[in-house]
């Protein structure tokens, strides 16, 4: 689809939604399974485009004989596939070209490549230094201790941790800088420990002992990041009683902070034996501040929420949003300014660390068109604003397949008209 038109005759949000399973957990489990060389049972594996792609690429890698030829692997727009396969292929015999979409070629990977080379990997940049595509010559890795800047992407840290048990001496990883998305690194650690890895955790030091994963069957929990857009919808609705299935209170996901965030907006979260139930109470809020350093995937939904109710917002820790599937900060500025929202950036060294919004002359014109920039979270964060505009148009809506393939169908199931 090139575009869709969304409308809803009322502001009632009632029903039951089976949220997609976590692609973050799924993708980590797939790499761990591939490292083991064994098959084990992963129930509720994500059907997100990123996970399907990673699964297919791993099948190609594990079933091919790449000894005498160069194998090219295209990760498309999947950041986890690019980062995780960079470390995985470095210890897999053969010659590999790892490439991706044009946007992927603009997303930095030099920090990870440098760290891998310190372990004895052979990674060269085929175009712009520090960026894909990569030429990886797989071989036996060595080295035990290294330092990585953890202030750019938690996926660099995760890519190293996942392979660490399979290094002859394990790994001691020192983290420098202000760590971003630390809950994602902790997710990796908890999954590794569940599968038998021995890890000592310090404030800025992680020590992974050598060994192998001891597998157990695992059931992937539903995705808290995807729940953010339902919380946003709840804020814009007048009557709310919506059940989101599969979410867990004791979650591996840092984005399970959503109930705390949205309580500020009057959204109440009740945990049940099936997931969570959202209801709403009236609450006056004049402004909102939040630091997204550890929760970047929630930023767009929360910022759009504040814009939709016309309050001032200040949001720190958003630097990593500039190197996602699109420059998400620029995308938000472009689209929210269509509503009369003033969007300002603050930072230093050419990087934006803080975004502020101010409803200077807010308006919600019916039939407004939003661009998605090929980014799934941009599409899903802007769509709930239809409850303010009455009708809106979304360009390139298929972007949601990256993490939440059934998003539009789920909206239809609770009364939205989409065509």
- Which residues are catalytically annotated? 297
pLDDT computed for residue 31 by the predictor: 97
Question: Which residues on adjacent β-strands are paired with residue 64?
Answer: none
Where exactly are the structural domains of the chain? 3-13+222-233+250-257+287-418, 23-219
Do the domains spanning 3-13+222-233+250-257+287-418 and 23-219 agree at the CATH topology level? yes
Tell me the residue length of the chain. Answer: 419
- DSSP letters of 363-409? ---TTEEE--TT-HHHHHHHGGGHHHHSEEEEESGGGGGGT-TTHHH
Specify the pLDDT at position 153: 80
| Averaged pLDDT in 10-residue chunks for the chain of 419 residues | 92 97 96 90 94 96 81 94 97 94 94 94 96 94 88 88 96 87 91 95 93 90 97 98 96 96 98 97 94 95 96 93 87 95 86 89 91 95 97 96 96 97
CATH class of 3-13+222-233+250-257+287-418: alpha beta
State the Cα–Cα distance between residues 34 and 246, nearest whole angstrom. 26
- Listed in sequence order, the DSSP H helices in 258-298 are 258-263
What's domain 23-219's architecture? Alpha-beta prism (3.65)
pLDDT at position 228 = 98
Beta-strand pair 218-219/42-43: parallel
User: What was the pLDDT predicted at 395?
Assistant: 97
pLDDT for position 152 = 77
Q: What is the dihedral of CA 185, 158, 226, 381, to 10 degrees?
A: 100
Pair type for strands 312-316 and 287-291: parallel
pLDDT value at position 67? 66
- Look at residues 374, 378, 284 and name the one whose alpha carbon lies nearest to residue 329: 378
Look up tokens 């309050």; give the residue: 311
Query: DSSP secondary structure string, 214-236?
Result: ----EEPPB-HHHHHHHHHHHHH
CB 391 within 8 A of CB 6: yes
89's enclosing H/E stretch is helix 79-90
Q: Quote the Cα angle for 96-98-104, to 5°.
A: 175
pLDDT of res. 203: 87
Please identify which residue in the block is written with the tokens 């990796």: 188
Residue 317, number of CB atoms within 10 A of its CB: 20
Other Cβ atoms less than 10 A from the Cβ of 33: the count is 20
Distance CA 86, CA 191 (A): 20
């Amino acid at each position: 689809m090139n575009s869709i038109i969304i409308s809803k005759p009322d502001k009632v949000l009632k029903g039951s939604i089976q949220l997609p399973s976590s692609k973050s957990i799924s993708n980590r489990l797939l790499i761990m399974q591939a490292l083991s060389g064994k098959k084990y049972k992963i129930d509720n594996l994500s059907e997100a485009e990123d996970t399907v792609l990673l699964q297919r690429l791993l099948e190609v890698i594990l079933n091919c004989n790449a000894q005498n030829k160069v194998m090219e692997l295209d990760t498309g727009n999947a950041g986890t596939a690019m980062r995780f396969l960079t470390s995985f292929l470095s210890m897999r015999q053969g010659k590999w070209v790892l490439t991706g979409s044009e946007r992927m070629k603009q997303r930095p990977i030099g920090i990870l490549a440098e760290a891998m080379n310190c372990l004895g990997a052979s990674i060269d940049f085929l175009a712009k230094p520090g960026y894909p595509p990569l030429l990886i010559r797989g071989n036996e890795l060595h080295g035990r201790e290294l330092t990585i800047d953890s202030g750019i992407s938690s996926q660099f840290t995760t890519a190293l941790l996942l392979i660490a048990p399979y290094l002859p001496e394990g790994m001691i990883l020192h983290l420098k800088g202000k760590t971003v998305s630390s809950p994602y690194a902790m997710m990796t650690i908890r999954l590794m420990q569940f599968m038998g890895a021995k890890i000592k955790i310090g404030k800025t030091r992680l020590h992974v002992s050598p060994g192998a994963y001891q597998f157990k069957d695992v059931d992937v929990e539903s995705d808290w990041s995807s729940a953010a857009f339902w919380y946003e919808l709840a804020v814009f609705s007048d009557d709310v009683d919506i059940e989101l299935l599969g979410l867990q209170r004791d979650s591996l996901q840092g984005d399970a902070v959503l109930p705390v965030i949205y309580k500020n907006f009057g959204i109440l979260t009740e945990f049940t034996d099936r997931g969570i139930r959202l209801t709403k109470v009236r609450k006056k809020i004049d402004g909102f501040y939040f630091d997204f350093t550890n929760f970047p995937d929630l930023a767009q939904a929360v910022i759009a929420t504040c814009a939709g109710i016309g309050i001032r917002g200040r949001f720190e820790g958003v630097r990593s949003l500039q190197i996602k599937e699109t420059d998400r900060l620029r995308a938000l500025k472009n689209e929210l300014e269509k509503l009369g929202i003033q969007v300002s950036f603050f930072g230093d060294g050419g990087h934006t660390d803080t975004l502020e919004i101010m409803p200077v002359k807010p308006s919600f014109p019916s039939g407004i068109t939003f661009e998605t920039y090929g980014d799934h979270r941009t599409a899903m964060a802007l769509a709930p604003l239809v409850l303010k505009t009455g009708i809106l148009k979304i360009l390139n809506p298929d972007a949601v397949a990256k993490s939440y393939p059934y998003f539009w169908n789920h909206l239809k199931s609770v009364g939205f008209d989409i065509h």
